[in-house]
Chain A
Amino acid sequence: MNERYSRQELFRPIGKEGQATISAKHVLIVGAGALGTGNAEALVRAGIGKLTIIDRDYVEWSNLQRQQLYSEEDAKARLPKAVAAKQRLVQVNSEVEMEAVVGDANVEELERLATEARPDVIIDATDNFETRMIINDISCKYGIPWIYGACVGSYGISYAFLPGKTPCLHCLLETVPIGGLTCDTAGIISPAVQMVVAYQVTEALKLLVGDEASLRGKLVSFDLWNNQYASIRVDQVKKDDCPSCGGNPTYPYLSYEMQTKTAVLCGRNSVQIRPAGKREYDLAKLAELFSDQGFSVDSNPYLVSVSLPSHRLVIFRDGRALVHGTKDIQEAKAIYHRYLG
């Protein structure tokens, strides 16, 4: 008899029945940074049936202070976060089926993940509103609940969006916040992460066991350092003519343009470049090409890292690249095209 979930089964709102239900559920976590690793560990320990986690980045030393699944070894090896996360999660609970995706959470990829093996809940662990608006449209289109979470400094915020019941993120925001709001220079302390994770995981568990009556139903925020807490019932903000969740939805954030996409990464002095169309690089060959030109090259099975005179260029197999050492999109694009065409 497996005792692994005995304490969770003793918790009445879950019980043996709830545990059986949880073990058949599939959760998609978008992002494997601070919130993503926290949510993933909690849900895998709780015994969900399947976890899918997607992330475009690799582990760095500055992650270790709060991204709980990663070790110094992962940072040294520059392992993709999705890969490193899965390695640790399998050690934590080998009973959970796991899919780790190294890639950009773009429209195409998220729509594939939402339809191929339909998740019961989507957890937002991204660091930008562009991706959140895509998640929001996916949620509305396919009727999958998603749980917003974000934090900066000692402040955090969360809300569970239920398609057809609550307002959606588009209703709440009207416009996508840009710039300063997402790229925070205020830093972050790990308890703020853990608090948001606690809100997200708890709402996820309620949804997974089907206890919707217990959902908080409010937008909640807190500041742990300044000892503040606020919550607002936002039901009345739902808009009948919302382009994402209204009567005639157009899902504006799912309209896909075939063009090179760029994104400045939060607090990283780095730009991500995703080329138009699909590419598939032979990384070993690519590494050789760069070292033949006299550049110092580091690589692992997932990426190649090249030290250029004033920047560092990290290239993934799918053609995505991170240009470190600049926040200037034009400069980053120029570097990308100079070396990768």
Chain B
Amino acid sequence: MKLIINGEAIDVPERIRTVADLLEHFQLNKKIAIVEVNACILQKEQYATATLNSGDRVEIVHFVGGG
């Protein structure tokens, strides 16, 4: 499936169906992140059920603490 992630067209593996899958794929599942799909921010509880479709625009920003 082709997604637009942070502005870039990226081919993700077929097994990725939900936002939770995608975060795990990028090893962000244990981090605190804000995820936007097609200009709409998702609640954390929605990650496991929010399915992704080819062409979706996804923005992911994760929090870090260092400074």
Contacts and interface: CB of A to CB of B under 8 A. Distances in A.
Q: Which secondary structure dominates where chain A touches chain B?
A: mixed
Interface stretch (B11-19, B29-37, B47-55): B29-37
B44 to A, nearest CB: 8
A178 B48 CA distance: 23
Interface string A133-174: 000000000000000011110011100000000000000111
A180 B65 CA distance: 9
B9 interface: no
A177 B65 contact: yes
Contact of A230 (B7, B63, B65, B66): B7
Contacts of A36: 67
Interface stretch (A27-35, A294-302, A330-338): A27-35
B8 interface: yes
B26 to A, nearest CB: 11
B67 A125 contact: yes
A290 interface: no
B61 to A, nearest CB: 4
B30 to A, nearest CB: 8
A92 B30 CA distance: 43
Nearest to A30: B67
Given A221-B61, A230-B7, A236-B41, A177 B66 contact: no
Interface string A18-47: 000000000000010111100000000000
B60 interface: yes
Nearest to A187: B66
Contact of B64 (A125, A150, A228): A150
A131 B42 CA distance: 27
B65 A228 contact: no
Contacts of B65: 127-129, 132, 150, 152, 177, 181-184, 266
Contacts of A150: 63-67
A231 B67 contact: no
Interface of A: 31, 33-36, 124-129, 132, 149-152, 155-157, 172-175, 177, 180-184, 188, 196, 219-221, 228-232, 234, 236-237, 266
5 contacts: A128-B65, A232-B36, A232-B59, A234-B34, A266-B65
